[in-house]
């Protein structure tokens, strides 16, 4: 179960986010169908639980039982980790079961979001005169990928480097522009730049995001063991078995 995602759901519903965090969360939900579906199911389960356990004593007993389960299945020694309230843990557990995630020993299909970790861009360290590149970097690093795309496209008209192409491709992947993203990554894949293997990895992530598990596996098997994130490649391959 993606514990952090359900903690994020709780924080949003309990109004514990900053204004910026709420905006980013709402943007993520609007752009990612999988997260939107889980969030909707999470809210529905909460409503059902609230209706079922309306009396205080029942609620206290239920919460204690869930707290015991939470203690057993989550490592409380991890530093600075926010623990979910038992009531929300129940909803998270229910949603996890609904979506076939790994929970209490059940198998799952791997999720794109578990392997989606875009690196931060740092173009302005080498150029502080290209306004479009500066804006592209800022939008990308703020996870505002849709805003980043036109800035990247403006830069690429005159400065088509592998680095800029790569981050442009990642932005396209994040906003589900799969065909354009594949075009970018396939071009980088056929080259010799430092972004070649990373592009192959992202081609696999495109398949994963579209739930084409067979296609994802086939691409992963072509990645060299020298790839810096090969541990994740192996992990994803195991999850696809």
Residue 123 per-residue DSSP state: G
Q: Can you give the pLDDT at residue 124?
A: 63
**Rounded Cα distance, 82 and 6, in Å:** 11
3-state secondary structure of 129: coil
Q: Where are the beta strands (DSSP E) in the chain?
A: none
Give percent of the chain above pLDDT 70: 71
Burial of 55 (0-12, 13-18, 19+ CB in 10 A): exposed
Q: Can you give the pLDDT at residue 241?
A: 85
Local confidence band at 138 (pLDDT 50, 70, 90 cut-offs): very high
Q: Can you give the pLDDT at residue 106?
A: 42
The mean pLDDT value for 137-145 works out to 95
44-84 pLDDT, tens digit per residue, is 777 766 655 544 455 555 555 555 555 554 444 444 444 45
Beta carbons of 216 and 207 less than 8 angstroms apart: yes
Beta carbons of 197 and 223 less than 8 angstroms apart: yes
In the predicted model, is pLDDT for residue 147 greater than 80? yes
Local confidence band at 38 (pLDDT 50, 70, 90 cut-offs): confident
Question: Out of 5-9, 91-95, 166-170, 211-215, which region has the weakest mean confidence (pLDDT)?
Answer: 91-95
**Rounded Cα distance, 89 and 96, in Å:** 10
In the predicted model, is pLDDT for residue 197 greater than 70? yes
Residue that the structure tokens 């490592």 belong to: 75
> Does domain 114-240 match CATH 3.30.10.20?
no
Residue that the structure tokens 């409503």 belong to: 47
**Rounded Cα distance, 24 and 70, in Å:** 28
Local confidence band at 227 (pLDDT 50, 70, 90 cut-offs): very high
73-82 pLDDT, tens digit per residue, is 444 444 444 4
Boundaries of every domain in the chain: 3-108, 114-240
Beta carbons of 188 and 169 less than 8 angstroms apart: yes
């Amino acid at each position: 179960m993606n514990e952090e995602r359900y903690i994020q759901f709780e924080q949003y519903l309990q109004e514990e986010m900053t204004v910026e965090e709420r905006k980013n969360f709402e943007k993520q939900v609007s752009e990612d169908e999988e997260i939107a579906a889980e969030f909707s199911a999470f809210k529905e389960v909460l409503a059902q639980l609230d209706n079922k356990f309306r009396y205080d004593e029942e609620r206290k007993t239920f919460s204690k039982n869930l707290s015991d389960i939470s203690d057993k299945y989550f490592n409380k020694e991890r530093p600075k980790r926010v623990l979910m309230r038992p009531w929300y843990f129940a909803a998270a557990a229910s949603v996890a079961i609904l979506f076939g995630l790994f929970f209490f020993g059940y198998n799952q299909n791997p999720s794109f979001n578990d392997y989606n970790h875009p690196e931060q861009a740092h173009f302005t360290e080498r150029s502080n005169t290209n306004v479009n590149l500066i804006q592209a970097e800022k939008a990308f690093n703020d996870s505002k990928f849709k805003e980043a795309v036109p800035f990247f496209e403006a830069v690429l008209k005159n400065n088509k480097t592998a680095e800029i192409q790569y981050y442009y491709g990642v932005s396209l992947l994040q906003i589900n522009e799969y065909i354009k993203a594949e075009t970018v990554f396939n071009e980088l894949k056929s080259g010799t730049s430092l972004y070649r293997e990373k592009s192959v990895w992202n081609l696999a992530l495109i398949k994963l995001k579209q739930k084409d598990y067979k296609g994802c596996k086939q691409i992963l098997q072509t990645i060299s063991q020298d790839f810096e994130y090969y541990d994740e490649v192996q992990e994803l391959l195991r999850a696809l078995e």
